[in-house]
Structure 1
Amino acid sequence: MDQEALLSDEFQKTLLTSATSSVSSSFLTNKERKEKLLLSKNKKTGNISNEDIEKVLGDSLDTQLFDKWVPFLRETIENDQLDVVVDELQSSTEDNFQGLELQLLRDFQVTNKLTESIGEVTNIQGTIEQQLTVQMQDFQNKLSSSSNDLIMKKQVFVNNKKTSLKISEAIILITKVLRILELSSKCQELITEKSFFKALQNLDNLEKLYLQEFKNYNFGFLKEIYDSIPFLKKVVKDECINLIRNSFNINLGKNLEDVGNSIFDCYEKQLLPQWLQLKEKMDFNIFKFNSPVEISLRDQEVLSTIALDNFFHLDEFHDAIMIFETLNQTPYLLSEFTKEYEFRKSKVIFPLVWKKTVNNINITASDIERDAFTKALTLPFLKSYLLRILAFLMYDICLNRATDFILVGSNYNATNEFWEGLLNRLGPYLSYAMNKLLNTEEELIDFKNFLSVYVAIVENFNLSIAPLYNILLSIFQKYCNLSMESFREEFRILLDDDDFMPLTIEDRTLFNKVIKICWLKRDEHERLTEEVSALEAAGSDFSITLPFSPLYPMTCTLAKKIYSKLTLFISVFYGHNLQYLSNMLIKTMDVIFNDIVNQQIKSKLDSKSREEIAQILINLDYFIIASKEFSLMMTNTNILQNPDIEIKLSSIKHYIESRKYAETKLIELIDSKISDILDTVEFDWSSTQLRHEPDISIIDVAQFLEMMFASTLVNLPYSIQTLLIFREFDSLTRKVLDVLLHETPSSLTQESVSNFEIDVNYLQGIIPRIFPSLSPTTSDLHSAPGTPNPNASDRQAALLENNMKSLEETFIELNQCIELLKTKSYSEYSNPEIRMKKFSRIKPEDANILLGKVRSSTPESDDNMDSKSILGSARSSTPSNDSSGNTNRLAKLFGR
């Protein structure tokens, strides 16, 4: 309404603006304008156009002014407001032209024209109204017709739109149906292609699509497809289990031995030779195969060839785990897997019965012998069997790692538990095989090498090796036992073949070998080398006599050979329980040196041959040296590589005991021989003839002693020779003295005493002839072990002199008795000063016996003293001189 008023006001302003300029100039009468308007109707359309209005009004109005009216008039007509405009124009004329009435009245012409214009305007209004009414009616008809058409078309459009929407919905529905059909078909294809996880994903999509889109539709075929989903899922589960079974068939079939052989050959034929070469090149003797050092230096390219992924393919297990986790049926998978896997395990370890017993408590030796496994047990079978087990262990490790231990309930020790259980079951059979099948050193070495490489592989995969390593220790123990028995047999042959004579060597090469293999006394090697050099310088034939018999160097050779064999046996492998191995080595060598060598040598001491016992004594002296040196060698090369360890064979003590026993036996033999010879000596105590030569029987005794110490006992150690000399001369003088005191008649002639003195002096005279044959070695003269003595020759001479003086002292008591017999007087003995100078060793009771024997035959006229009083005086004034005097002399000798 405001807009209409605004247009009216604008139109009024336009009229007012143009009124003053056009009122007096051109006004047609209404009749004239109406006629012109009617005449200007369009004959075709019957409507009055803008141009017609301009022509009619243009005669009385200024064209430019009328141009301003046209838009308003046209708009008024189009808006069907012409009546309103006319009314407003009239009102405006009344309001705006009141002041002009007088002027217009005054202007007659204007008045007339105005009057006529009003009529004409009225006519024009009527004409226009009539025309507009016709047009409006026509427009309404056309509008009604158009509206009807529009309604009809809209109805058609709505119908078409509904149809189109239904078609779109149908298309979408069909597309979804096709999607379901496609998913169903794809599931079938994937199941056929064994892509079960993808098939399960498609089944899930199919189920979700049906439940979201077609749950409320009654499509029978779709419901059948939906109802088939559980069946298809069951098919997927069953096929997954079948794939696992097929995977077991592929991975746990005949190829297990090939896998085991491949892994074992890689270690045995590639890694081990490479290590042995590197060990020799880099001087890595202290490091064993499979030690951290060896593992760090392995060729990684070689190891890559035995990566477990190269042998086993486990994609089926990954799919199965994902599938059953998606189905929330992992426990079912684990249950089925466990049952199938236990069945496979029992097949792998066949003919060993896996579930026969949990432990070996109920297994007896007879059970083992009757067992099917034992009946098939040979070394090739056992190796093949263990390699098959090794491959299965590798498969189990690979499977558990690849599946993140899901299939074993996150038991990270599952493989080791199976392995330990199997070893517990297999242990008695391995022990049986070791005892029954490994009977030679070659078989022991071969199986040791196999089992050691096997243990190295198992250890590298962090599996238990204790039971197998105990078998290796038992193999080494059996090897030690076989070595000891071999040594025992060879030593017995050597001992039986030994001549118990000093070893004479006439070949320089052989001499060098003997010197190199034997352990000698201190400085003896140097002395022998000097002796050889002297022979070569003199151009003499090579001939060296060694104190020991051939038994000693041969035994040293055997002992070193056995020790080398034993250390070589454990040098490459055996990286654990080194203390046990060391103790086993020590025990073995102790058995060899004591239970075999010492005991068999000791059994020879029952011989009645002085030469044989003397040679055994010499050999034992060298075996003591060998035991000590062997202990030192074992200390320096101990397998513990501990510089602080000290090994001392117990056989040293036993050799020393055997040497003492040999000394005793030799002394007993010599004593028996001397006693036998002395039994043949007959002293003529009633003789009245003086002799200037000793009795022939005394000469025999002297010659026997000279010969024995110059030949039979010449190779004995100096200390032993000295001991024997002192012992025998002490025994000799004591027996002779005993004869003089207790086996002589009650009266003795002075001639017989003189003859007895000649015999005793002859025996005493052989001492200088015996001792020069003894030549103490430098080691006997050293002030400290291993310390050279620059005055050795001087000390040697002094030692010989002192020994001879000490030995001559054994005759003092006998000589004093002879001197007492020659005096025939109690007076000298009863005089303390004379007695202490001449008869200090004679006991009063012995002096009384002796003086009684000579006085009874030749009374002393100028001596009237009572013998009893003299005897009592001698007892009160003479120091006690019992038999301990000789013992003290021996102690003094060995104390120097």
Structure 2
Amino acid sequence: MESNAQSQISEELQKILLSTDLSFLKSTFDDEDRKKGASVVQDYEEELDLDEHTMNRWTPLLRSAIENDSLPVVVDELYNSVEDHFENLETQILQDSQLSDNLTVSVGQISNIKEIIEESLLRETEDLQGQLAQTTNDVISRKQSYINNKKTSTKISECIILISKILQILELSNKCQDLIKDGSYYKALQSLGGLERIYVQDFKNYNFDFLKTIYASIPVLKSKIKDESLNLIKSSFNSNLERKLLSVSTKFFDFYNETLLPDWKNSKNELKLSSFKFNSPVEISLRDTKKEETLNLATIFPLDEFYDCILIFQNLKETNYLCSEFKTEYDFRISKVAYPLDLKSHGSTTTHSDQVLKTAALFGDEFSSTELKNYMLKILGFVIYDKHLNKSTDYLLSYKSMSTSENFWEIFIARFSPFLEYYLTKRVNTEEEVIELKDFLGIYIAILENLNVGVELINKVYILLFRKYAALLFQVFDIEFSTLLKDDDFMPLTINDKGLYEKVLRICWLKDDEPERPRIEDEEFSEQFLATLPFSPLYPMSCTLVKKTHNKLVTFLSEFYRSNLSELNQIIVQTLDSIFSEIINAKIHAKLDTTSREEIAQILINLDYFIIAAKEFSHILGRENTTLNPDVELTLQSVKILTQSRNLTEQKLIELIDSKISDLMEFVEFEWSATAVEREPSFSVKDIAQFLEMMFTSTLVNLPDSVKTLLIFREFDVLTGRFLDVLLNFSPPILTPQSVLNFELNMNFLEGIISKLFPSDGDRPSTPTSPDLGAVHSSENARASNLMDNTRRSLYSTFSDLKQHIEFLKSPDITEYNDPSIRMRKFPRIKPEVAQMLHDKMVSPASAGIDSANSSSVDQSFADSLGSHKRLAKFFNRA
């Protein structure tokens, strides 16, 4: 369809073209003419104009082709159709005479037209050449003017720039002078740098004298800036070090002491952190950071002049010179701060004691505690300042070394600590002074630790302070214990106040086998409370003193001491060990020169309890040690020393009793030739028995049962041994039967003392007891009864040897003795030679020839005496 439409349009166009008079001229434009563009079209525009009728006929066709987007195809077909329609046109033209004539006429016309065109073109070309020459000359003249004007303008611009830079140099020079006057040295140096840079870049090759003068003044100005900035640092030292050190350190100290420490005590009590110390990580983590902002050193010690000076010398690349000058000035300031201590002096060959005395002489004998604190605070202030200065300047002034503060402090404390030890030893003499110095040094060390400086040497002094405190407590204990010992009555402690009694029980340590409440007279049967404890008042008072001393030592360490805990714990142990051994034991030991058995017995009882106290305190010290190590086990050496004194006291008591018995034994005499049987023992034996009964029921009644029983055993064993020795070695060769019966009477009397010392249950007097204590007493009584029965039987056995020898004397039949069965049953303890000797004493040669009548009378008399003796024995052995 489209193809047909395009063909139709093309045919219509062809018809219109053929019917147009000038259509043959249009065909004369070839492709080259079309390529010439708009100029060629304009030249022939008048000749190619179509009449209005023809144009109206083309317009719809062209519009239709454009609307169908087929104009290129229509044009191509038009060309093809034109070629087809005009293929034979030339032949037709030649054959048409009229057309040929027209062509001939047209050729002439065309030649005329050509000439007209050539003339016109020549004329126009000449006009164009004239205009071109005129325009060229005009352009050349204008360009020359432009070039001249541009050179002038460039020179003017250069002059303007040069003048502005000269003005800038002058302005920088004036500004530099003003900044130097105002003290802004770094800004002045920056101005000089800009001035120097502008001159070198822009005016180095100009011969301006005034600029050369300005440039020549730059080194002088730089030198002035250096000197003035160093002088500014020196004046800063004067204002900071001399005026602020003491006030700053006091502010730090007061903040720690009056703010941080009370806050920590409150937190420790609320959070139950008693095992942690002040300035420990736990305490530091609980601090209020807002409160610590009040210690902002940037506002206390402004360092603007240092920052400017460092920038100045870094800019001048003379940092080493700055550091050298700074060190010289700083050393001078340090020497002023540390005065009268000389930090520059080198160690000499003098002894440590000479150095201490020399240092003490520098400070003088009148150096008070207030002066000591102010001096140490001034040193602390300098350490704070030094830390702040070096940290804020990135340690540049100390040659990038991060140990300036540490070096100063190490040198200072190495020189000062000997004097501090000397001051502590010579000037601090009371508990109050020691505690005051302890609190001061505790805060002081805490601040130093937070400044990250070494505190090892001052910690040694701090430990020495604790040793001093322990020594003072030792002296106080010595004085108070001496007073207590002097006032002690060496009698069992009797208490008639129930509250006091309970307090004594809480204070003292009792034996493990002792009841928690010793038996007292029950209030239901007594109008007044009454209790008796075995030890004297010295023991509970001493326990109170020991506990008080221990509490003081622990309290002394409770807040500040965080290092060398093992050494501190050892000091506590040594102090308490020395108290038990060098005071309690030594002073009680000195009392052993007395001859009073009562005092010796009470000393023995007290020593038993002091041994218990020392053992218990060993457990306390192990359990509550400052190292907080639950595995610590220790035993005070004083336990062994007290035990030795206790054994010595026991031996002393034995010696006193033995001495008394020996004295009594000197008055004992037996009538070995007696012919009558006595009905009562001799007075000397009664004295011995009375002494023993009084000794063990009154004087030694409060001794521990084991000790008392041991003494009783020993004394009865010694007595029976001595009486046996009297019988065997000090009796005459011949003994009468009556004397033997009298001797037996005396021995039985002595044996009867045992039942008085250890009565049986039926013989023991009853004591009233309260209902609530009845069950406790019944079990205790049963256990005590069994123990007493065993003791009583053992004591009776001490008389077995003596009894066997007496029985043999009463029936001195050697033949019966020689019978092994009888001997082992009746006389196992009598040796054969002794039996023979005793037999000889009873059967003498003089009596061998007596007649049987007399012999019978003698035997009857012995039998009668024996019967009488049995009645006496029964009397003395009755309950």
TM-score range, shorter chain: 0.7 to 0.9
Among 415, 424, 448, the residue aligned to 1:425: 415
Contact 2:341 2:359 in 1 (8 A): no
**Counterpart-to-counterpart distance in 2, 1:605 and 1:269:** 54
* Shift, 1:165, TM fit: 3.9
The residue matched to 1:225 in structure 2 has which SS?
helix
**Counterpart AA for 1:516:** R
**Counterpart AA for 2:455:** I
- Structure 1 residues 580-619: aligned runs within 5 Å: 580-619=567-606
Matched, 1:333 2:322: yes
The residue matched to 2:561 in structure 1 has which SS?
coil
* Shift, 1:389, TM fit: 0.8
Among 264, 273, 293, the residue aligned to 2:262: 273
Q: Match for residue 194 of structure 2?
A: 205
Matched, 1:445 2:432: no
Q: Match for residue 652 of structure 1?
A: 639
Among 340, 357, 361, the residue aligned to 1:371: 361
**Counterpart AA for 2:198:** L
Among 373, 384, 387, the residue aligned to 2:377: 387
Matched, 1:354 2:308: no
Contact 1:444 1:479 in 2 (8 A): yes
- Structure 1 residues 430-579: aligned runs within 5 Å: 430-522=420-512, 524-528=514-518, 531-532=519-520, 535-579=522-566
Could you report, residue by residue, the CA deviation over 1:168-197 in whole angstroms, capped at 9, with x for unpaired residues? 332222112111111111211222222222
Q: Match for residue 771 of structure 1?
A: 758
Greater CA drift, 667-676 or 68-77? 68-77
CA RMSD of aligned residues (A): 3.4
Could you report, residue by residue, the CA deviation over 1:139-162 in whole angstroms, capped at 9, with x for unpaired residues? 99x989x98x99999888776655
Could you report, residue by residue, the CA deviation over 1:351-371 in whole angstroms, capped at 9, with x for unpaired residues? 211212257956615742663
**Counterpart AA for 2:812:** K
Q: Match for residue 170 of structure 1?
A: 159
User: Where in structure 2 are there 5+ consecutive unaligned residues?
Assistant: 1-35, 49-111, 765-775, 852-879
**Counterpart-to-counterpart distance in 2, 1:81 and 1:837:** 187
Greater CA drift, 790-799 or 450-459? 790-799
**Counterpart-to-counterpart distance in 1, 2:517 and 2:845:** 61
Q: Match for residue 615 of structure 2?
A: 628
Change (3 A) 1:634 1:370: closer
**Counterpart-to-counterpart distance in 2, 1:495 and 1:463:** 50
* Shift, 1:298, TM fit: 1.0
Contact 1:586 1:649 in 2 (8 A): yes
Matched, 1:832 2:820: yes
Change (3 A) 1:425 1:70: farther
Change (3 A) 1:297 1:484: same
* Shift, 1:237, TM fit: 1.1
**Counterpart AA for 1:495:** L
* Shift, 1:740, TM fit: 1.1
Change (3 A) 1:268 1:143: closer
**Counterpart-to-counterpart distance in 2, 1:186 and 1:71:** 83
**Counterpart-to-counterpart distance in 1, 2:165 and 2:808:** 150
Q: Match for residue 4 of structure 2?
A: none
Q: Match for residue 75 of structure 2?
A: none
**Counterpart-to-counterpart distance in 1, 2:47 and 2:284:** 119
**Counterpart-to-counterpart distance in 2, 1:444 and 1:639:** 20
Change (3 A) 1:285 1:861: farther
Matched, 1:798 2:795: no
Contact 1:360 1:425 in 2 (8 A): no
Could you report, residue by residue, the CA deviation over 1:457-512 in whole angstroms, capped at 9, with x for unpaired residues? 10112110111111110010011111111111111111111111111111112111
* Shift, 1:520, TM fit: 1.0
Change (3 A) 1:370 1:578: closer
Change (3 A) 1:725 1:185: same
User: Where in structure 1 are there 5+ consecutive unaligned residues?
Assistant: 1-5, 19-65, 83-135, 777-787, 864-896
* Shift, 1:229, TM fit: 0.8
**Counterpart AA for 2:554:** T
Contact 1:826 1:851 in 2 (8 A): yes
**Counterpart-to-counterpart distance in 2, 1:359 and 1:275:** 46
Could you report, residue by residue, the CA deviation over 1:720-760 in whole angstroms, capped at 9, with x for unpaired residues? 11001100000001111111112222221111111111111
**Counterpart AA for 1:321:** I
* Shift, 1:164, TM fit: 4.2
Could you report, residue by residue, the CA deviation over 1:32-62 in whole angstroms, capped at 9, with x for unpaired residues? xxxxxxxxxxxxxxxxxxxxxxxxxxxxxxx
**Counterpart-to-counterpart distance in 2, 1:75 and 1:771:** 175
Change (3 A) 1:320 1:826: same
Q: Match for residue 93 of structure 1?
A: none
The residue matched to 1:545 in structure 2 has which SS?
strand
**Counterpart-to-counterpart distance in 1, 2:673 and 2:47:** 214
**Counterpart AA for 1:182:** E
The residue matched to 2:494 in structure 1 has which SS?
strand
**Counterpart AA for 1:265:** D
**Counterpart-to-counterpart distance in 2, 1:596 and 1:858:** 70
The residue matched to 2:677 in structure 1 has which SS?
coil
- Structure 1 residues 391-410: aligned runs within 5 Å: 391-410=381-400
The residue matched to 1:841 in structure 2 has which SS?
coil
Q: Match for residue 28 of structure 2?
A: none
Change (3 A) 1:512 1:73: same
**Counterpart-to-counterpart distance in 2, 1:575 and 1:468:** 13
- Structure 1 residues 223-262: aligned runs within 5 Å: 223-262=212-251
Q: Match for residue 5 of structure 2?
A: none
Normalising by structure 1, we get a TM-score of: 0.77
The residue matched to 2:702 in structure 1 has which SS?
coil
**Counterpart AA for 2:804:** Q
**Counterpart AA for 1:799:** L
Change (3 A) 1:212 1:606: same
**Counterpart-to-counterpart distance in 2, 1:169 and 1:274:** 75
Contact 1:504 1:544 in 2 (8 A): yes
* Shift, 1:536, TM fit: 2.1
Among 685, 705, 709, the residue aligned to 1:698: 685
Normalising by structure 2, we get a TM-score of: 0.79
Could you report, residue by residue, the CA deviation over 1:643-701 in whole angstroms, capped at 9, with x for unpaired residues? 11112111111111111111111111101101111111111111111111111221111
**Counterpart-to-counterpart distance in 2, 1:582 and 1:712:** 43
**Counterpart-to-counterpart distance in 1, 2:781 and 2:496:** 29
Greater CA drift, 723-732 or 832-841? 832-841
**Counterpart AA for 1:480:** A
- Structure 1 residues 53-92: aligned runs within 5 Å: 77=123, 79-80=125-126
* Shift, 1:288, TM fit: 0.7
Matched, 1:179 2:168: yes
**Counterpart AA for 1:276:** K
Change (3 A) 1:72 1:238: farther
**Counterpart AA for 1:688:** T
Q: How many residues align?
A: 739
Could you report, residue by residue, the CA deviation over 1:265-323 in whole angstroms, capped at 9, with x for unpaired residues? 11111001111111112111110111111111111112111132232111222222222
Contact 1:501 1:549 in 2 (8 A): yes
Change (3 A) 1:516 1:860: farther
* Shift, 1:847, TM fit: 2.1
**Counterpart-to-counterpart distance in 2, 1:258 and 1:426:** 22
* Shift, 1:396, TM fit: 1.0
**Counterpart-to-counterpart distance in 2, 1:492 and 1:358:** 47
**Counterpart-to-counterpart distance in 1, 2:823 and 2:150:** 168
Greater CA drift, 444-453 or 839-848? 839-848
Q: Mark the structure with the bigger radius of gyration.
A: 1
The residue matched to 1:463 in structure 2 has which SS?
coil
The residue matched to 2:341 in structure 1 has which SS?
coil
**Counterpart AA for 1:804:** R
